[in-house]
Amino acid sequence: MNNIDVDGKKTDQPTGCGPLLSRSQASDAPLRQQIFQHVRANGHAARSDITRALDISAGSATTLTADLIACGLLREVDSPMRDTGRGRPPVALEVVSEAAYVIGVKLSFRQHSAVLSDFAGNVVATAVLPASGKRGTVAQLMNEVSGLIDMVIRAAGKVESDIKAVGIGLPGIVDFASGMVRWSSLLQDPNEDLRTSFAQRYDMPLFLDNDTNMLTLAELWFGVGRDMTDFAIVTIENGVGMGLVVNNRLYRGTHGMGLELGHTKVQLDGALCRCGQRGCLEAYIADYALTREAATALDQDIATPRDPEALLDLLFRQANAGHSAAQTIFRRAGRYLSAGLSNVIQLFDPPLIILSGERMQNDYLYAKDVFEEMHQLTLSDGRQPCQIEIHPWDDLVWARGATAPALSALTDVLVGGLEVQKL
């Protein structure tokens, strides 16, 4: 377990949040902002640590940290380093966590989840609300979002004016720059302007993205990806998603809508996908794909509605009990997953792929055979092997990832001095 956990469990990762970068990997942000980000990423840092890590003079570190303290963004605390007993006790700096608050939201068919975090990235409160379970209008979705935001604000003992930014992740094809949802399984119509609808209700900036991108940011800001320059995430739930970090930054594609692994084609004229096309990867391994075949394999009356979650649980239990038709469904899904993962390795050559999502509770999807076939389908001569890790995070971790773009943009404004319009 690492420090991505939102349940307060002991973690192995360093305290703090955000990418852990060396000076050679640092962004082109102003030095003042780099100092702040270094302190936040490490949880605390002495001025001498800052000078070494950022390769700056002691005078610059003293001047700029004094400025950040005066602005109420950093404060001095007792250093966690052992006191030698001689001279002044060591002093470190930490982020003033109460300087600002943000909310991250994960939207899905079954439930909506929210995390309220402080400026240091600490989780202050969480909230979960049941979802409608069907496609709706933007107005209907915004009503659900508003109820969730109000709930998490009350849980934190805050008021709406305390919240400075909100991040929302939802399944589908999302234009991050414009806030347009080109297509989502949660909405009836394509090309919906969710950002404008949000602005009509809330006086705070919204950062909208595909939910898998938000989970990728959770790993980059709070998980195993903090000190990695490159890694990929593949999620398997009611759809199939992919996130990619290149040079310690989330990669979205030229127009902000790339990495749609679930809608890459694995079979011409194949199974029907929710997007309306045929042969997409997710039409073979996502929840609805397994449910579609489960009814037939388990001899369920298709005229009698049944909870998809219960049907999938029954399918998994039957497979474990030796039901041959149920095992065949998972075995085929595993083979298609092998092909999808092989394509990711072939195209991007990541050192690590993290598999996540609710379906990862089904060990058929990460059985030894799946990864053996993945390697067989990949041109491996001279290639460093790609590591595979299973992180079956719940929706609150996805929601925590949605706080990352809000924290990043808020840092640009409060620390970097950028205009609010740049958010």
10-residue stretch averages of pLDDT, the chain, 423 residues long: 48 72 61 93 93 92 95 88 57 94 95 97 97 90 96 97 96 89 92 94 95 95 92 91 93 85 93 92 91 82 68 88 90 93 94 88 78 90 86 92 96 75 39
- Burial (CB count within 10 angstroms: exposed 0-12, middle 13-18, buried 19+), residue 123: buried
91-94 own/partner pairs: CB under 8 Å, 24+ apart: 91/46, 92/44, 92/45, 92/46, 93/39, 93/44, 93/45, 93/46, 93/47, 93/50, 93/65, 93/68, 93/69, 94/39, 94/43, 94/44, 94/120
- Note whether 109 and 200 are same-domain residues: yes
Query: If DSSP codes are grouped into helix, strand and coil, which group holds residue 223?
Result: coil
CATH code: domain of residue 244? 3.30.420.40
Q: What is the pLDDT of residue 393?
A: 85
Look up residue 385 and give its DSSP letter: P
- The Cβ of residue 260 has, within 10 Å, a number of other Cβ atoms equal to 21
- Note whether 113 and 213 are same-domain residues: yes
Range of the domain at 174: 100-217+397-422
Q: In degrees, to the nearest 5, what angle opens at C-alpha 85 toward C-alphas 80 and 87? A: 95
Q: Enumerate the H helices of 73-189 as residue ranges.
A: 138-156
Task: Report if residue 17 sits inside a domain.
Answer: no
Backbone dihedral angles phi then psi of residue 125, each to the nearest 5 degrees: -155, 160
Q: Which residues contact 114 (CB under 8 A, 6 or more apart)?
A: 103, 104, 105, 106, 126, 127, 128, 148, 149, 151, 152, 399
Task: Report if residue 41 sits inside a domain.
Answer: yes
Q: What is the pLDDT of residue 60?
A: 93
Alpha carbon distance 135, 114 (integer Å): 20
Q: What is the pLDDT of residue 6?
A: 53
CATH code: domain of residue 34? 1.10.10.10
Q: In degrees, to the nearest 5, what angle opens at C-alpha 268 toward C-alphas 383 and 359? A: 65
Specify the DSSP element, H or E, that contains 60: helix 58-70
Q: Enumerate the H helices of 71-210 as residue ranges.
A: 138-156, 194-199
| Last residue within a domain, chosen from 98, 125, 156 | 98
Contact in structure between 57 and 51 (CB atoms under 8 Å):
yes
Q: Enumerate the H helices of 157-233 as residue ranges.
A: 194-199, 211-222
Task: Report if residue 9 sits inside a domain.
Answer: no
> Which residues share a beta bridge with 278?
272
Q: Which residues contact 409 (CB under 8 A, 6 or more apart)?
A: 165, 205, 207, 422, 423
Alpha carbon distance 360, 130 (integer Å): 22
| Last residue within a domain, chosen from 74, 98, 122 | 98
- Note whether 171 and 186 are same-domain residues: yes
Task: Report if residue 139 sits inside a domain.
Answer: yes
- Note whether 237 and 381 are same-domain residues: yes
Q: What is the pLDDT of residue 24?
A: 45
- Note whether 388 and 258 are same-domain residues: yes
- With tokens 């989840």, the residue in question is 113
- The Cβ of residue 11 has, within 10 Å, a number of other Cβ atoms equal to 14
Q: E-assigned strands of 68-224?
A: 74-78, 91-95, 101-106, 111-118, 123-130, 163-170, 173-175, 180-183, 192-193, 206-210
- Burial (CB count within 10 angstroms: exposed 0-12, middle 13-18, buried 19+), residue 405: buried
- Note whether 388 and 247 are same-domain residues: yes
Task: Report if residue 336 sits inside a domain.
Answer: yes
Could you give the number of structural domains in the chain?
3
Task: Report if residue 184 sits inside a domain.
Answer: yes
Q: What is the pLDDT of residue 303?
A: 55
Alpha carbon distance 365, 308 (integer Å): 18
Task: Report if residue 208 sits inside a domain.
Answer: yes
| Last residue within a domain, chosen from 80, 98, 116 | 98
Alpha carbon distance 203, 164 (integer Å): 9
- Note whether 243 and 378 are same-domain residues: yes
Q: What is the pLDDT of residue 46?
A: 93
- Note whether 306 and 290 are same-domain residues: yes
Quote the pTM value.
Answer: 0.88
Look up residue 280 and give its DSSP letter: B
Q: Which residues contact 205 (CB under 8 A, 6 or more apart)?
A: 165, 166, 406, 409, 420, 423
Q: What is the pLDDT of residue 256?
A: 76
Task: Report if residue 234 sits inside a domain.
Answer: yes
- Note whether 141 and 208 are same-domain residues: yes
